[in-house]
Amino acid sequence: MSGTVEARLAALGITIPEASAPAANYVPSVITGNQLFISGQISMAGGKMMQGKLARESDIEAGRAAARQCGINLIAQIKAALGDLDRVKRVVKLVGFVNSAPDFTEQPKVVNGCSDLFVEVFGDAGRHARSAVGVAALPFNVSVEVEAIIEFA
């Protein structure tokens, strides 16, 4: 079913991939009440991981692109769980993890890649609370991982 959100994605030139399967012993999402909790999505596109430690192997713009890809992968999980992206009432919270060198402090600028995407795609419903955290390492040396909490109808 193609609705308002799908039309916005098409206008932005964004193709949503199939939701990826978990890489370990967890589920991709959990629904409780009217909230959808989505496990962390890594910066992977077309089977290729967007890798590198920020400020050492990757720069802020590459990190923003990686965070944006995490957002696209989150949207794929939302679609898989809810069937219809127009069911999203609110993006409640994003938590972004940035693979960072010890002296890198620009994690918020990196995670904006995902935050900006959610506002572009979901409008005011995409505005959310957020944490942007620097970590010493992420799985597979990816640059960014983002998890989400979504309220739906």
Extents of the domains making up the chain: 4-16+40-152
User: Any residues with CB less than 8 A from the CB of 97 and at least 6 apart, and which?
Assistant: 40, 133, 134, 135, 138, 144, 145, 146
Tens digit of each residue's pLDDT, the chain (153 residues): 458 999 999 999 999 999 999 989 999 999 999 999 999 999 999 999 999 999 888 899 999 999 999 999 999 999 999 999 999 999 999 999 999 999 999 999 999 999 999 999 999 999 999 999 999 999 999 999 999 999 999
| Residue type, position 3, single letter | G
Percent of the chain with pLDDT over 70: 99
pLDDT digits (tens, 9 = 90+) for 6-42: 999 999 999 999 999 998 999 999 999 999 999 999 9
Summary mean pLDDT of the chain: 96
Hey, which residues does 131 pair with through a beta bridge? 95
Beta carbons of 43 and 49 less than 8 angstroms apart: yes
CATH classification number, 4-16+40-152, choose in 3.40.50.300, 3.40.190.10, 2.60.120.560, 3.30.1330.40: 3.30.1330.40
Name the token pair of 101.
Answer: 């060198």
In order, the DSSP letters of 107-153 are HHHHHHHHHHHHHHHHGGGG--EEEEEEES--GGGBSEEEEEEEEE-
Burial class (CB in 10 A: 0-12, 13-18, 19+), 54: buried
Beta carbons of 112 and 79 less than 8 angstroms apart: no
| Residue type, position 9, single letter | L
The angle that helices 60-82 and 107-122 make with each other, rounded to 10 degrees, is 40
User: Any residues with CB less than 8 A from the CB of 26 and at least 6 apart, and which?
Assistant: 39
Q: What is the pTM of this model?
A: 0.96
